Structure 1
Amino acid sequence: MGAACIRERLDRALCSHPWIDRFPDTLVKHFTDQGSDHRGLLLSDKAYTRNSRPLFRFDARWADNPEVRAMVNYVWKEEIQGTPMFRLWERLKRLRHLLYDWSRAGTTNSLRNIKTLQAEIERIKLVHPVDWDEVRNLEFELNRQWEAEEIYKQLKSRVRWLKKGDQNSSYFHTVTRARRKRNFVAGLRSDNGDWVTEELGKADIATNFYQCLFTSETHVPNMAERVDNLPISQSITP
């Protein structure tokens, strides 16, 4: 083995999309590989419940929103003391809190906005005489909300070839569920060696790790010195 050891996962569990739909909380546990190259697998359908609020993620639909741009400008103009990396980390943290509170207001829900606009358009058309200017303005906003919903589906499924006007989202929901299963983190190892599976505990471990990473002074070795010490005179073999 030695330094040239190559590790590769030999044992894994595979499932189909209908399986994910029927058993969405399925987990696979890998046992230790003592005395063998293989690991035993334990399939569990125990439901997993989240006790904390969902993780914050930036929504691609917000990129062109003037309110979001105003919040970014506001945060980036604030005076923050510290290293450049710490200032960046602090600004991103403050911006995240602002965006989270702003998104909780409900104005970013495309499907909800679409239903509201459709109902308003129908209401105006029932009134005589019809205010067609208002109808056209609402229809313009309705098209913008449909585009935002398609961007949301594209972001969630990470399918870059989503065509404009395609309203069939069942495929994208399936892909999103599959990605959520792959990205799930069952537990994290703490600094003292404990295996932590609770949501709050995992969040604390991740937060402390990146906080130490961004706030501590990282030792950067002299790369020129490293290059000088390389055995470049040694002949190169294929």
Structure 2
Amino acid sequence: MARFRQFVQEHEVKDLYLHGRSFTWSNEREVPTLTRIDRAIASVDWDIMHPDSILQALSSSVSDHAPIHLSLSAAFRPRKRFKFEAFWLNLEGFDEALREAWVCDHSIVDPFRRLDALFRNAAEFFQAWGEKKVGNIKLKIAMANTLILRLDVAQESRVLTPAEAWLRRMLKHAVLGMSSLERTIARQRSRIRWLREGDANTKLFHAVANGRRTKNYIASVRVGEEVATTQERKNEVFTEEYVRLIGAFTIESTL
């Protein structure tokens, strides 16, 4: 056990979050003793490589242990949600884009429905605007590094032309800028407030963001005798419950 603890400490592995159960073992007595002694651990690199993994406990059946099941393809992102990126404020043309996005149909006079329409239109507009302005950061970094590598290899056998040398310098500057932007995005999504602006541990930010998403994931929802497991049905259940609790009150308040 001492060697195992030393291995965990040296390799900085983490305990994967277990969904659905707090304990995995019982002594099967009338007033049972419950503990969690079945676990799965993973490195930060593995966690980043498998962002859609989820660990769940299964039925204990005839045993006193509940087997644990690790899936690598949980449907975390059935539909991409809108996220306002803080760095958009510093991009050229943001003010003009905001004025263009914050519009809705003039026939909507109800203040609540009007605000809802404004937010929806702005979210849809900025989703497309952000993709057009920035695009896929990881893909751009990978493409730039591939070109830099080819120029590095060419430099070993000949002198680069002025155009090739200029391109290599520009690509290196671009990678620095995009890497900084990637850390900014990861920092915003990780919500680690105690980290200073100078900290640049991108793996840590991604690991924390993945951990939050895994912990907040809802695998199933029980509605009466029904157990909703598909994302579409879970969305319907939550929407129906929201309308039942909040929607009716909102409608009455606006009359």
1:171 to 180, 204, 220: 204
Contact 2:104 2:117 in 1 (8 A): no
Matches of 1:76 and 1:63, distance apart in 2: 15
Which residue in 1 is equivalent to 2:88?
62
Contact 1:85 1:214 in 2 (8 A): no
By how many angstroms is 1:17 displaced? 4.6
Which residue in 2 is equivalent to 1:217?
251
Going from structure 1 to structure 2, the CA distance change for 1:114 and 1:28 (only over 3 Å counts) comes to: same
Give the TM-score of the pair, scaled to structure 1: 0.59
Matches of 2:235 and 2:213, distance apart in 1: 17
Give the helix-richer structure, 1 or 2.
Answer: 2
By how many angstroms is 1:87 displaced? 1.5
By how many angstroms is 1:86 displaced? 1.6
Counterpart of 2:22, as a letter, is: R
Give yes or no for the alignment of 1:96 onto 2:123. Answer: yes
Matches of 1:53 and 1:95, distance apart in 2: 21
Which residue in 2 is equivalent to 1:206?
238
Which residue in 1 is equivalent to 2:185?
152
1:84 to 89, 92, 111: 111
Going from structure 1 to structure 2, the CA distance change for 1:28 and 1:95 (only over 3 Å counts) comes to: farther
By how many angstroms is 1:193 displaced? 6.8
Matches of 1:19 and 1:135, distance apart in 2: 34
Contact 2:101 2:122 in 1 (8 A): yes
Matches of 1:148 and 1:219, distance apart in 2: 44
Find the residue that maps to 1:45 and give its secondary structure: strand
Q: Deviations over 1:94-145 (max 9, x none)?
A: 2333344455669432222233445566759964335887776655544331
Going from structure 1 to structure 2, the CA distance change for 1:91 and 1:52 (only over 3 Å counts) comes to: same
2:56 to 19, 27, 30: 27
By how many angstroms is 1:210 displaced? 5.1
Which residue in 2 is equivalent to 1:225?
none
Q: Which runs of 5+ in 2 are unaligned?
A: 1-20, 24-35
Matches of 1:200 and 1:28, distance apart in 2: 24
2:140 to 90, 100, 113: 113
Q: Which runs of 5+ in 1 are unaligned?
A: 1-10, 31-39, 221-238
Give the TM-score of the pair, scaled to structure 2: 0.56
Give yes or no for the alignment of 1:195 onto 2:227. Answer: yes
By how many angstroms is 1:146 displaced? 1.9
Which residue in 2 is equivalent to 1:75?
101
Matches of 1:108 and 1:43, distance apart in 2: 42
Give yes or no for the alignment of 1:53 onto 2:63. Answer: no
**Sequence identity percentage:** 15
By how many angstroms is 1:152 displaced? 2.0
By how many angstroms is 1:187 displaced? 2.5
Decide which moves more: 51-60 or 82-91.
Answer: 51-60
By how many angstroms is 1:148 displaced? 0.9
How many residues in Structure 1 have an aligned counterpart in Structure 2? 200
Counterpart of 2:211, as a letter, is: A
Find the residue that maps to 1:74 and give its secondary structure: helix
Matches of 2:247 and 2:165, distance apart in 1: 55
Contact 1:17 1:174 in 2 (8 A): no
Matches of 2:99 and 2:58, distance apart in 1: 46
Aligned-residue CA RMSD (Å): 4.5
Q: Deviations over 1:21-61 (max 9, x none)?
A: 5893212479xxxxxxxxx9955416364297333131344
Find the residue that maps to 1:217 and give its secondary structure: helix
Contact 1:157 1:173 in 2 (8 A): yes
Contact 1:187 1:202 in 2 (8 A): yes
